[in-house]
Amino acid sequence: MASKIQMTLWLLTLYLNSGECFSNGKVTQACGDMKPEHGHDPSPQTPPYNITLDKYQYHVGDQIRVTLSITAPGGSYFKGFLIEARAQGKRDRGAVGSFILVDTSISQLLTCGHTQGSAVSHTSDAKKSEVQVIWIVPDNPPASIQFMFTAVQKYKIYWVMVPGPVATLKGTTAGPPPATTTTDSTTTSPAVLPSPFSAKDCGTSKSCLRDPVNCDPGTESLCHFLSFRTVGQSVQFELSGPADGYVSFALSLDKWMGNDDVYLCVKNEDRVEISAAYVVGRTHPEVATENALRDTAWAMYDGVIQCSFRRDIDLDRLNQSRFHLDHSYFLFLAHGSAEHGVIHRHNRQPLISSHQKAITGTPEDLSGSRSPLLLKFHGIFMLVAWMTTVSTGVIFARYFKLDWPESSLFGQRVWFQVHRALMVLTVVLTCVGFILPFIYRGGWSKRAGSHPYLGCTVMALALIQPIMALLRPPPDSSKRPIFNWMHLGAGTIAQILAVAAIFLGIHQQALLLPAPWATGVLAGFVVWGLLADLVFELHSRGYLLPEITAQFFAAGRQAEDKRAILSGPSERNGFRFRRIILGVFLCGNVTFLFTLITLISNV
């Protein structure tokens, strides 16, 4: 009986000693692998804590303030912790440098290896939300160091050797982020990127896809950026872009979404989750259960999400949904919103590389477009038809009937032949432009709002106009005024609806010209046409060069009187005036048209 009591007391003492060892922070024996002796595996979840620094470059003897804290206000506390600094990429070499305590009531110094104060741990198991310490740069520092931490929330819930930010010796450049797989865990914990990405080596040591063209993610917050370079038997990817939820890219065998290899960097509260996924058809990406990514790191600042990771060129059979990186693919670059780590449909049409690129091939500065070629031609055809040919054709029909009275073109009056040719061209351009979106979409677009409905109405009116013209009554028929009003009314309505459809079209996701620049150019386009109409109308009503207009209309219906007036010097001046205004109008019209076509070609 006595022996049983002694055994019980011995086990109880052993248990209490182990618990005391945890609670008082005397964990020097864990300096190497930074793992607490709790007899449980580290948590596979993303740690709710991170480390931040007050500076990311150093000289010998500098001091860096290191803060371990929860990632979100009201987030999970931690009871125990261990902080060390290690040479980047050599975390098995032991702690580097030494620390100074900021608050001795919650933190204490440990001697790891032979360096006094080279690690910091807790003093009690009290709940903590933040710890600050000062790291002192040693006399012979490595080119870059990375801060690591272990955090204990509960006895069975803890995270081991979580990689933190990297600081570099001034005058040197940090290497790629080190592997972040913990010793006994099958998951990885992303590190925090030490500095923004740069486009400096695009086309020389790494391939890049950027929007806008030649932008730099290190200096431009609106830069959408993807880079990749071969590192041994793997590829290092860098992804950056302005987004309130996620940035992503995909490898695709064609320029259509579906059956693609996708990589996501998703904002979830105050951290970024990096994962691989696969898209079947036009469905939501399915996140892969196998972890094919390593050396993951991320950063968020000023509405920009950045992440980096490495992926092996060839993967095992468990990752059959991942593409081999030694082949050529189209690259898709997309972004959108997310809630609690769940992504929504991308905000804009993805940026798609102009050609397939071998991922492990020669570095190249790639170009791409967010708008499919078919939809670009759709926009161009509609602009030419309804902003140039229609406007010019209407001007000839309304204001040039008096010109070239003695001339004919293919047996008809000059104004009529020009008007008819321009209107036929308008109908042809409209028909071709109308079918292009249906070819691209393979049917009706459900997300284009009222734009396609207006377009269908314009198409119907454009077809009605020539049919109506073929059935028009003779000039001396009593029904001719009815035709004139119907022809004028249908044409005016079609032109107004076409302009409205164009304003909506330039903001469609598949085109999305840069605002407000494109909207301003289009508005100027419309105003320019209205001003030309106003000048022509004022001239026709006698407010500009009034003497000839008054003489002409006072002559009534007598043809010989009109011919006399038309051959007079005043009307010759009127002809000259109208032609000058027409020339000025066409110069401005073509300038606006060229500007918009340039904007379309650049998206």
48 and 153 assigned to the same domain: yes
Respond yes or no on whether the N-terminal peptide bond of residue 212 is cis (omega within 30° of 0): yes
334 and 447 assigned to the same domain: no
Instruction: Take residue 170 and report the two structure tokens written for it.
Output: 């001034």
Q: Give phi and psi for 576, each to the nearest 5.
A: -65, -40
Rg (the chain; Cα; Å): 36
Tell how strand 328-339 and strand 357-358 pair up: antiparallel
| Residue at 201 is within a domain | no
pLDDT at 533: 92
172 and 219 assigned to the same domain: no
Among 122-126, 562-566, 596-600, name the one with the lowest average pLDDT.
562-566
Strands in 59-154 per DSSP E: 63-70, 80-87, 98-101, 107-112, 115-122, 130-136, 144-154
* Tally of domains within the chain: 3
Distance, in Å, from the CA atom of 586 to the CA atom of 280, rounded to the nearest integer, reads: 50
Distance, in Å, from the CA atom of 539 to the CA atom of 286, rounded to the nearest integer, reads: 66
Closest CA to 143 of 42, 59, 199: 59
Q: Bigger pLDDT: 28 or 247?
A: 247
389 and 409 assigned to the same domain: yes
393 and 514 assigned to the same domain: yes
- With a threshold of 0.85, does the pTM exceed it? no
pLDDT at 318: 52
Ramachandran bin of 492, using left for φ above 0, alpha for ψ from -120 to 50, beta for the remaining angles? alpha
pLDDT score of 177 more than 80: no
94 and 78 assigned to the same domain: yes
Q: Which helix (H) or strand (E) holds 469?
A: helix 451-470
Distance, in Å, from the CA atom of 231 to the CA atom of 248, rounded to the nearest integer, reads: 21
CATH of the domain at 358: 2.60.40.1210
User: 552 falls in which pLDDT band (50, 70, 90)?
Assistant: very low
Distance, in Å, from the CA atom of 313 to the CA atom of 114, rounded to the nearest integer, reads: 41
115 and 239 assigned to the same domain: no
Question: What value does the mean pLDDT take over residues 317-343?
Answer: 84
pLDDT score of 12 more than 50: no
pLDDT score of 38 more than 90: no
Q: How far is CA 296 from CA 83, 205, 238, 299, 308, in A?
A: 20, 20, 10, 11, 6
Q: Bigger pLDDT: 549 or 272?
A: 272
pLDDT score of 224 more than 90: yes
| Residue at 123 is within a domain | yes
Per-residue DSSP letter, 92: G
Distance, in Å, from the CA atom of 270 to the CA atom of 120, rounded to the nearest integer, reads: 25
Three-state DSSP string of 140-175 = CCCCEEEEEEEEEEECCEEEEEEEEEEEEECCCCCC
Distance, in Å, from the CA atom of 229 to the CA atom of 198, rounded to the nearest integer, reads: 13
Contact indicator for 204, 176 with CB cutoff of 8 Å: no
Among 63-67, 189-193, 205-209, 591-595, name the one with the lowest average pLDDT.
189-193
Among 208-222, 339-353, 382-396, name the one with the lowest average pLDDT.
339-353
451 and 508 assigned to the same domain: yes
Per-residue DSSP letter, 354: S
Distance, in Å, from the CA atom of 289 to the CA atom of 321, rounded to the nearest integer, reads: 11
> Any idea of the CA torsion for 77, 83, 86, 90, to the nearest 10 degrees?
-60
- Which residue among 369, 400, 416 closes a domain? 369
Residues 6+ apart with CB under 8 A from 123: 24, 25, 104, 105, 106, 107, 108
Is residue 20 classed as helix, strand or coil in its secondary structure?
A: helix
User: How many other CB atoms are found less than 10 A from the CB of residue 7?
Assistant: 10
pLDDT score of 76 more than 70: yes
- Which residue among 166, 181, 196 closes a domain? 181
Contacts 24+ apart (CB under 8 A), 469-473: 469/420, 469/423
Closest CA to 486 of 499, 473, 497: 473
- Owner of token pair 């002694």: 6
Distance, in Å, from the CA atom of 239 to the CA atom of 248, rounded to the nearest integer, reads: 7
pLDDT at 189: 57
Distance, in Å, from the CA atom of 48 to the CA atom of 76, rounded to the nearest integer, reads: 7
Instruction: Domain of residue 314: give its range.
Output: 207-369
pLDDT at 545: 63
234 and 105 assigned to the same domain: no
Q: Give phi and psi for 366, each to the nearest 5.
A: -80, 155
User: 195 falls in which pLDDT band (50, 70, 90)?
Assistant: confident
CATH of the domain at 137: 2.60.40.4060
431 and 460 assigned to the same domain: yes
341 and 378 assigned to the same domain: no
| Residue at 82 is within a domain | yes
Q: What is the pLDDT of residues 418-463, one digit of tens each?
A: 999 999 999 999 999 999 999 988 888 877 889 999 999 999 999 9
239 and 311 assigned to the same domain: yes
pLDDT score of 568 more than 80: no
Q: Looking at the chain, how many residues does it have?
A: 603
